[in-house]
Each structure stands twice: as C-alpha cells, then as structure tokens.
Amino acid sequence: MSTFPPGMSGAGDRPPTADQQEYRSGAVVRPDDETPLAREAAEHVTLARRVTSITELPRPAQTRVFVVANQKGGVGKTTTTVNLAAALATKGLRVLVIDLDPQGNTSTALDIDHFEGTPGVYEALVEGEPIADLVQDCPTIPGITVLPASIDLAGAEIELVSLVARETRLDKAVQSYLRTREDAGDRVDYVFIDCPPSLGLLTVNAMVAGREVLIPIQCEYYALEGLGQLLRNIDLVKAHLNPALDVSTILLTMFDARTNLSSGVANEVREHFGSKVLTSNIPRSVRISEAPSYQQTVITYDPSSSGALSYLEAAREIAESPRAQEKR
C-alpha cells in the first residue's frame, strides 16, 4: 500500500517510464555529470593511471641533446627543463642538465649549490675546464647530473667575444664529457641546456651544442610575438654553425582550459607546427610554482598533482617518439 497521502502517487505505484529505465541503465548522463570540473577530474584520473603504469622509459639510440630556448621570459623554460629531467630520471634514464642562465634557477630547483664562485658553466666556457670536474649529482633525484650556473656567468658573454671559436666552446666541452661517460660505460641519455631569456652568445653556444630545440610556449598572445625572431635565429645557427640543429619539440605551458585564449593559442601553435607539438599541455598549477621554493621539482614535491602528471606524460611522449630511436 502506498504511504503517500490520498491523491498523490509514489514512484513505486507505477512502472518506470522508458526514459527512467534508460537513465538507470547508464545510457543517459545528466548534464551535471558533464561539467568542466567533472571532465577535468575524469581526465586527471585517466592520466594518473597511465603515468603510474609506466615504471621505465626506453633509452634513446644515442644521446639526445635538447636546447630549451625562448627569448621571452616567464614562459616556463627553467620549469620545463628541471621537470622533464626529473621525469626522465625517475623512469630510469640518465640526464645531464646544463644551467646556462646566470640567475641559476635551474640549479636551485635541483638543490645544487650555485653561490658566487661555485665552479660550473663559467669555468667550462671561459676557462676551458673539463665538465667532468665541474658537475654535481642531484641529491634528491638519482640519475641527474648538473652543471650549475652562478652569477659569475653574467659577464661571460663579454669575455667570450675575444675568445677563439667562441660559438663552439660549449659544444666541444659537452661532446668531450659525453664521450668520457660513454667510454666508462655510463652513457648519458638526455642533455637539457636551459638558456637565458635572450639571443646572445650564451644562447648561440647552446644552439651549437644542441641537436634538438625544445620551445616552451606560454598559452598567451604575447608569447607568440617573439617566436618568429627565435625561429630566424635558429635558422641562422643551422645555416652557418650547426647543420644538425632542428626544432623537434614544442610544449604548451601555463595552459588554462577554462579560457578561450589558451585554447586559441594552442590551436594556432598546433596548426603551424603540427606533430612537433606535444599532445600534453602543462596546466597552470600552484604546485609547479611552489616546488622551487623547497628546492624541488614538482615531480618530487607533489607527484600526484596535475603539473607532475603532465610533465611525466610529456617525458613519455619525448622518450617514445620515433626520433628517439634514430641515429644521426
């Protein structure tokens, strides 16, 4: 007997309608289940499962040397350098990180001493000291070796002007170090060179030493304005100093899926660069911003955060790309 008052009928007094049966079967999703927040949560869970299921990434056929460059400041060059290095190292690969920015933020994030007078890039570039005598092991992430930068590097561009073969000094030092490591049976898999936000001699040295350019692009309009000049400079270096140099990877950073601007910039970049743009976008994330203040990468600071998962996925794309198995 119905417990509803006279004149009212309960749902149990009549069979469910066809619409009700369809909803209960799961064939119909309520509009609330398709909110941006719900989609974001579902994507986060899917990404976390995929990333955590991978314990090791394949080694490349030969050492890959990436130049992380963009003359615009604040686009995520240093953040991308340290977090991709950490992501690859946590998956079993050996990584050398070269901090070519006098600010030394890369060294800070990897918990490497870089106070004034600390031996590092300056000694390798200007004084010709072997990199093997200057590198430091990252204390928090096994597999990462760092060539630090100190404020001494700020005057290096002026001092390099008068030196012989000034554009190729970093390349010769890096190749000598890589050969030493390989001869010792400890081959480096990836090298990341973090460039300063300029197109001076330090950046030119990085481009001559590199084989691939990775360009982080912030998902904002201003980030696109200086891109043409950067690409022209890369073409000049390729034509006159390093024919092997190539823009192989574009990474979209500070992506905010809630804004049309981020989506518009992302679409424009993908249309122009095609398959060079990684599928993974790096989101705006408080955790990514907080990590350096603890002298950590976001990979170690909060491994389950959206920023850490996105960098791990980007590292997977780089390591599993067809280019990784090519010998050049």
In the predicted model, what is the mean pLDDT of the chain? Answer: 86
At 21, the pLDDT band (50, 70, 90 cuts) reads low
pLDDT in tens, 51-70: 777 789 999 999 999 999 98
| 23, pLDDT greater than 60 | no
In DSSP terms, 68 is beta-bridged to 194, 214
pLDDT number for residue 197: 86
Residue 299: C-alpha distances to residues 45, 190, 205, 253 (Å): 17, 17, 29, 16
Q: What is the dihedral of CA 280, 74, 87, 171, to 10 degrees?
A: 110
Q: Under CATH, which number does the domain 37-325 receive? A: 3.40.50.300
> Mean pLDDT throughout 247-265?
88
* Count of residues in the chain: 328
At 12, the pLDDT band (50, 70, 90 cuts) reads very low
Report the alpha-carbon distance of residue 274 to residue 254 in Å, rounded. 20
pLDDT number for residue 145: 97
| 187, pLDDT greater than 60 | yes
pLDDT number for residue 165: 86
> Mean pLDDT throughout 240-257?
92
Residue 170: C-alpha distances to residues 99, 175, 181, 202, 204 (Å): 12, 9, 17, 9, 10
pLDDT in tens, 91-119: 999 999 999 998 899 999 999 988 888 89
Query: How far does the chain reach from its first CA to its final CA, in angstroms?
Result: 82
DSSP string for residues in 16-47: PPHHHHHHHTTSS--GGGGSHHHHHHHHHHHH
pLDDT number for residue 9: 45
Q: What is this structure's pTM?
A: 0.85
> Mean pLDDT throughout 175-199?
94
pLDDT number for residue 11: 45
The percent of the chain in helix, strand and coil, each rounded to the nearest 5, is 50, 15, 35
At 137, the pLDDT band (50, 70, 90 cuts) reads very high
Give the pair of three-digit tokens for residue 252.
Answer: 């979209």
At 16, the pLDDT band (50, 70, 90 cuts) reads low
The SS3 of residue 213 is strand
Domain limits, the chain: 37-325
Q: Determine if residue 295 is left, alpha or beta; phi over 0 gives left, psi from -120 to 50 gives alpha, anything else beta.
A: left
pLDDT number for residue 31: 47
| 143, pLDDT greater than 50 | yes
